[in-house]
Structure formats: C-alpha cells, structure tokens
Chain A
Amino acid sequence: MSSASDEKPNLMHQTQFIQGHDLPIPTLSILNADGSIQAGAEVPELDQETAIKIYRNMVYIRVLDERMISAQRQGRLSFYLTCSGEEAAVTGTAAAFTINDMIMGQYREQAALRLRGFSTEQFMNQLLSNKDDLGKGRQMPVHYGSNELNYMTISSPLGTQIPQAAGYAYAQKLQGNDACTLCYFGEGAASEGDFHAGMNMAAVLNCPVVFVCRNNGYAISTPADEQFKGDGIAARGVGYGIKTIRVDGNDILAVYSASLAARRIAIENNEPVLIETMSYRLGAHSTSDDPSGYRSKDEEDKWREKDPIERMQNWLQSKGWWNEEEEKSILESYRKDVLDTLKRVEKKDMPGLDELITDVYDTPPAHLQKQFEELKEHIAKYPENYPVAGGAKHG
C-alpha cells in the first residue's frame, strides 16, 4: 500500500476493526518426537553426512554447556550462558548457510560458531580471557567472535546487531558476491527499538538478511506473555512486508527446511526473511540466574520431553544412520576433549598489559599512551598488588 499511488483504494463501509490475532501463523512441523515424519510433511534434502554433522554439533554443544556450567560453579570461570534446548534452532539454521555468509548473533548461538569450526581450545581461550583469546580477554565469557569464520563478535547490548545485520547485508549486496547475513536474536530482544529499526530498514532497503528469532518463552524471568500481546514475533514480520515463517525450533527438519528456503529467497530476491523458532530455554538464563524463582519444574520437565537432540537422534536411528554405540562414543570423546582442554587452557597466561590500550583506536593516541605510561610506573611501584605486569598468570 504505497502512499502516492493511483491504485484504487481498498474501501469498506462498516466500522470493523482487525483483531490482534486475525492473522494466524502456523508452525512448520516435520519431525515427530519418536523420529517419524508427520503425515504429508515435505522432508528437506538432508544427506547423511550433513545430518550427522548437525547432530554431532548439537551433542557437542550440550556437553560443552553442561561442563562449563559446572566449571563456573567451581569458580573456574566468571560467567556462562548455555544454548540448551535450542541446539536444533541454532545448528539447523546455521547449517543452511555458507561460510561466506556473515553470522551476527545475540549470545546464545555458540552452536553456530562450533558448526563453522571453532575449536574447543578457542572456546576456552575466550571463556578464560587468556592471551590466545581472539578478543584479547576484554569481554565477558561467551562473547565469541571470529573474523576467519565470519562470525561477528557478540556484544551484550540487546538488539543492536539487528540494524547492523541489515547494513552488513546491504553492503554484501552491493559487493555482489552472492553472500547474505544470518542474524539471531531472542524474543525479548525483539522488544527493543533496534528490532523495529532493523526489520523496517531491511525491508525498505532490500537487504539479503535472514533474521532468526529464537522464541524460547523467557527473557530472563519475563515470560513471553509479558513481552508481547500479538501473535509472537512472526506476525510482526508480515507487518514490515517481510516473508515470514514460524517453525518448531525443536524439530531439526523443520528448522533446516525453512532456513534453506530463506537463504535462497534472501540471495535470489535481495530481500529479508524472518524465521521464528519456537523452542524453550531448558537451562537458566545464565549462571547468574535461578529459574526456580519464576517457573515450575513441571513446565521444565514437559519441555525436556521435547528435547531437540533426542528427537533428531530418533530420526537418525530410524534411518539407520546412528546407533547407541556411536552415541556413547561421541559423548565420551566430547567430555574428555572439553575437560582435557579446560585443564590445559587454565594454565595459559593472561593477555599482555599493553592489550589494555590497543584497539581502542587503530593506534593508541598520545593521551592514551600517556595514561598507560603512568599506569606502568604505578604498577612497577606496587607490583605485588596487581596480578599482572604483562604475561603473568591470573591472580
């Protein structure tokens, strides 16, 4: 409905309001909990190799998350956030994209980074802020990023990556290299103004970006029914003129199928797509949160029965692509990898003191160099009061 058009206006002659839920958005569902396929469902092309890669990735992230939560409880790292319950929503979307596509996430998408090849050691380097952390030990744990893997460094302010992703995709379009941007955010972040700005700009400026809203029911303690009144996030996509789909986020085939199609639309038509993955945050919001204060064990148990990993495992087994022994073997090897790596990485030095002032600008300006010289003189005077004078261990 463009403004200055000659089109005949669509009139009505009775006062009738459109109801908030007049546009029912269905949920794409392909895979049953027992691993069977829904009657009449269109199964996406997913070969055995890719399927196994996706599955192993989900299991790896579950193991990493569980071990790191324990490590945080033991005081070995300061903070952690899990992807638990949303492994299919994240892995299944990321798997439909290529390494040339930029990923811009929120913070609960480590599964996408792992899928692109981020190593256990790289995860640990970041979590423990040591000298080998690509981020030079500056950000809180789980704020990963990798230029090599086209995974934009995570930042804490919510929703800020949404208009950025639109801009990134616009620039990709102008460069003409058949790449797009995959942008993740939660249903809580979708209440930020940046969601509105980014969605509208992406639509108006024809940006090849696929937005994935992980609707997991909660933003910390706030349930979704205190977050919005409309039909979730998907209904809003339609309002912005964006092709939109809602999928069962615990159904790897539904997630993957929608994502493959979404990428194709973004690249071929130069337009944004919105996917809302309906799932559940199985764990606490973070290690600083205790969900027992705002939701019931029954509710959690109900969702645990819909675990996306179990569901995919059942499907793989039904196809004869997976068995109990393989399951046991990868669980053991991932647990060992995570624990061995943690022990090794814990011994690494922290970043050099000069990393305190590098990268504020491309080169440190004079005033910052002066402040740094003063700091070094001070530390030299009181070396025992500070953990590091460059290259030392964490205190």
Chain B
Amino acid sequence: MAKMNLLQAINNALDSAMAADDSMICLGEDVGKFGGVFRATSHLQEKYGKARCFNTPLTEQGIAGFAIGMAAQGSTAVAEIQFADYIFPAFDQIVNEAAKFRYRSGNEFNVGSLVFRTPYGGGIAGGLYHSQSPEAYFCHTPGLKVLMPSNPYQAKGLLLSAIRDPNPVLFFEPKRLYRAAEGDVPEDDYEIPIGKAEVVRNGSDITLLAWGAQMTEMYKAADKAAEEGISCEVIDLRSLLPWDVETVANSVRKTGRLLIAHEAPHTGGFGGEIAATIQQECFLSLEAPIARVTGMDTPFPLAHEKEYLPDYLKVYEALVASLNY
C-alpha cells in the first residue's frame, strides 16, 4: 500500500499497464515529455520511450481516429482528451466508429483495446468549457463502456480493468479530486470489475446514488443526515455503462427511497435512465418519488458555480423531502 492522490493512482495504473503490455501506447495533447497538463502521464515517455508515449497535434477527432486505428491493429491505445469538454470534436469517431467497430464488421475487426481518458466535472472555476460532465451522451451509445471513479483506489483498479477490457472504454476522471482525494492504493497490479456498483455505506432509510466527484457531496449529506438520526445507504455506481441495476434495486427494495445526484444537467442526464429503470424494478417498494439532484439545465456557469452545483445541502434537502413525502 502507498498513499496516492487520484492523479498518482492513474499515473501508477498507466505505468503498470505499460510495463505489462509492450503494445500499449499513451497519446494525446501534451502527454509526452511534459506528462500532460494535469501530469497524469508523467515520466511515462522517459520510461517507455517516445514511440509509446507521445504528443499529438491538437486535434481531438484525429486523436480518436488515430487511437481507433492503433486498436484495430491490435495495439493497446490509451488516448487522452485534455478536457471532457473537448471530446465533442471526437464524438463522431467515438460514437459512429469505435462503438460500432465490432458489430458492423461481424467481429472481423474490433477496437477492444481502446481507452479514452478524460478529466471531467466542475468545482474548479472552469466555466463553460473546463467543467462539463458529458457522460450521458456516451451512455446512449451501445458498444461503449463508461466508467467514472471517485477515489484513488478505484481510479487505479478501474483504469487497469478498462485497459484490459475487450471493448472500447471511456474513462472520466474527476479533476476536482485529482489532488484533493488521497488514499491507500496497492502498488501491485489489481482490477475492479466493470459493471459493479459499490455499497460504500449501509443504511436503512434512503438510498443515495452518485458517481465520480459527486460522491464527496453524498458523504457529506449522509453525515449531516446521520446527525438527524437518518440512516442513508450510499452507493457509488462506478460504472455507468453497463450499470449495476441489481445492486441499486436491492438497496431500494430495502430502503424504499432513492435519490440520484449528478453534476451534469437534469434533462437527459443519466439520472433519468436510472430513475426510470428503478421505478420499473422496484415499483411496489417505493415509498416516495425518486429524487434527482443535478446540475441545472444551463451551460456550466463561472460566477455562479457554487449555486449551480448539486452540493451536499441540496442533496440533504432532497433526502429530507423524500423522507417526509
């Protein structure tokens, strides 16, 4: 075990994966000698050479297409998109190409050894284009897997799983927690299964569900509720596509209530998908409408960031309202 922050855990996972797989390549804007604007790829070029960890020209559609080509050839391609806000130029390559590669070719070809890593989320005064949480766009795309870790231990284990999973994976990293989140991380190689949620706190009155950076607000809300004698079961979804219906449904059958929170806007957010599914699975167990505490249906603002974000107080108010329903 070693104390690592979330960035160090990611760097450690990339290092571990590159050591184990000679065909693995890290690419993206500024990922080479500089080690990335957040330093997630620090020292990798030094250690594995310029051919395996390199800068690309500034073109997201190019990075995505290039990585798809490498993965189609059989190499392991881990591409970085500098901010999730800038993944949209690559949307066509990811949605029309990477996601459909195996299906459309009848498994003649695939890009299973492909991962896109990208920092996402608000809370760092990033305004419109350094704050977005675009996960829902990609969860609407069959063929992709979508992961969002919330702490260093998860970040390493999930990233190693993503790199070795035989399907293209989008790995959204909560940049607000890059240095803020610290924890014990095994130095040895390990994986966390994709498609499995983690019940991080047991409780009996209401189920609180989130992922990524939003988990820190959920813990705070659960702590505040505990002071009032409310017992929250807290679930970290970790994997959005595919997501763990069973773990969430089992929890809601027990507590009778569900609150989902995410930073991304409300309308069309992934919370809607979860709410609809759980309503179908747990109709007879639900004692209150499923609550969603989310970003507003606006672009991500700068001056009003604190007001905009679904912080723990908003979560707390919503869970109390659910209990009083």
Chain A residues packing against B (C-beta within 8 Å): 102, 104, 133-136, 138-139, 143, 145-147, 152-153, 155, 157, 160, 162-172, 174-175, 181, 193-194, 196-198, 200-201, 204-205, 355, 358-362, 365-368
Selecting from B104-112, B214-222, B258-266, B288-296, the interface stretch reads: B104-112
Flag whether B61 is at the interface (Cβ < 8 A): yes
The 5 tightest CB contacts between A and B, nearest first, are A167-B69, A163-B65, A197-B62, A153-B105, A167-B66
Measured CA separation A160–B97 after assembly (Å): 8
B232 at the A/B interface (Cβ < 8 Å)?
A: no
B142: A residues at CB distance < 8 A:
360, 368
23 examples of A-B residue contacts, CB within 8 angstroms: A102-B73, A134-B105, A145-B108, A147-B108, A153-B105, A160-B65, A163-B61, A163-B62, A167-B65, A170-B66, A171-B25, A171-B70, A174-B23, A175-B23, A181-B69, A197-B61, A197-B66, A355-B106, A358-B107, A359-B102, A359-B106, A361-B145, A362-B110
Interface residues of B in 62-110 (CB under 8 A from A): 62, 64-75, 77, 89, 92-93, 96-97, 100-110
B interface bracket (residues with beta carbon within 8 Å of A)? 35 or more
Q: Which residues of B contact A145 (CB under 8 A)?
A: 105-106, 108-109
Contact between chains at A197 and B59 (CB < 8 Å): yes
Q: A157-B92, A166-B69, A361-B167 are in contact. Are A147 and B59 (CB under 8 A)?
A: no
Q: Is the CB of B69 within 8 A of A147?
A: no
Q: CB-CB < 8 A to B107: which residues of A?
A: 136, 358-359
Contact of A200 among B57, B93, B245 (CB under 8 A): B57
In the bound complex, residues from chain A placing their C-beta under 8 Å from that of B52 are: 174
Instruction: Enumerate chain A residues within 8 angstroms of B203, measured Cβ to Cβ.
Output: none
Q: How far is the CB of B29 from chain A (nearest CB, A)?
A: 12
Interchain CA distance A358-B52 in the complex, whole Å: 33
With A174-B75, A361-B167, A362-B167: A167-B106 Cβ-Cβ less than 8 Å: no
Residues of B within 8 A of A143 (CB): 104
CB within 8 Å for A164 and B105 given contacts A171-B75, A365-B195: no
Whole-angstrom CA separation of A200 from B58 in the bound complex: 10
Whether A168 and B57, one on each chain, are in contact in the complex, defined by CB atoms closer than 8 angstroms, is no
Q: Is the CB of B245 within 8 A of A167?
A: no
| B121 on the A face (CB < 8 A) | no
Q: A164-B72, A362-B166 are in contact. Are A198 and B104 (CB under 8 A)?
A: no
Which residues of B sit under 8 angstroms from A134, Cβ to Cβ?
A: 105-106, 108
Nearest-Cβ distance from residue A368 to partner chain B, whole angstroms? 8
Please determine whether B54 and A193 come into contact, CB atoms closer than 8 angstroms: no
Do residues A360 and B59 form an inter-chain contact, with CB atoms below 8 A? no
Determine if B69 and A367 form an interchain contact, defined as CB atoms under 8 angstroms apart: no
B242 & A365 in contact (Cβ 8 Å cutoff): yes
Could you list 9 further interchain pairs (A-B, Cβ under 8 angstroms) beyond the known A163-B69, A166-B69, A358-B107? A143-B104, A157-B92, A163-B65, A165-B69, A167-B65, A167-B68, A181-B69, A201-B59, A359-B105
Asked if residues B68 and A164 are in contact (CB atoms below 8 Å), the reply is yes
Within the complex, the shortest CB–CB distance from A241 to chain B, in Å, comes to 12
Contact flag A171-B106 (CB < 8 Å), given A160-B93, A160-B96, A164-B97: no
B56 CB–A CB distance under 8 Å: yes
CB contact under 8 A between A205 and B73, given known A155-B104, A157-B96, A197-B62:
no
CB distance from A394 to the nearest CB of B (A): 18
Q: Say if the beta carbon of B19 comes within 8 Å of chain A.
A: no
Given A136-B106, A365-B242: A198 touches B65 (CB 8 Å cut-off): yes
- Chain B residues with Cβ below 8 Å from A172 are 73
Note all chain A residues with C-beta closer than 8 A to B242: 365-367
Nearest-neighbour CB distance to chain B for A321, whole angstroms, equals: 36
Q: Which residues of B contact A168 (CB under 8 A)?
A: 69-70, 72-73
A370's closest neighbor in chain B, by CB? B245
B92 to chain A, nearest CB (A): 6
Q: Tell whether A162 pairs with B65 under 8 Å between CB atoms, given A153-B104, A201-B59, A365-B195.
A: yes
Report Cα–Cα, A102/B70, bound state, in Å: 12
**Contact of B143 with A by CB under 8 A:** yes
Please, which residues of chain B bring their CB within 8 A of the CB of A166? 62, 65-66, 69
Check if B321 is an interface residue, CB within 8 A of chain A. Answer: no
Contacts of B110 in A (CB 8 A): 362
Given contacts A165-B69, A170-B69, A205-B54, contact A153 B108 (CB under 8 A): yes
User: Which residues of B are found within 8 Å of A367, using beta-carbon distances?
Assistant: 242, 245
Using Cβ atoms and an 8 Å threshold, which residues of chain A touch B245?
Answer: 366-367
Name B110's closest neighbour in chain A (CB-CB): A362
Q: Chain A residues near B68 (CB, 8 Å)?
A: 163-164, 167
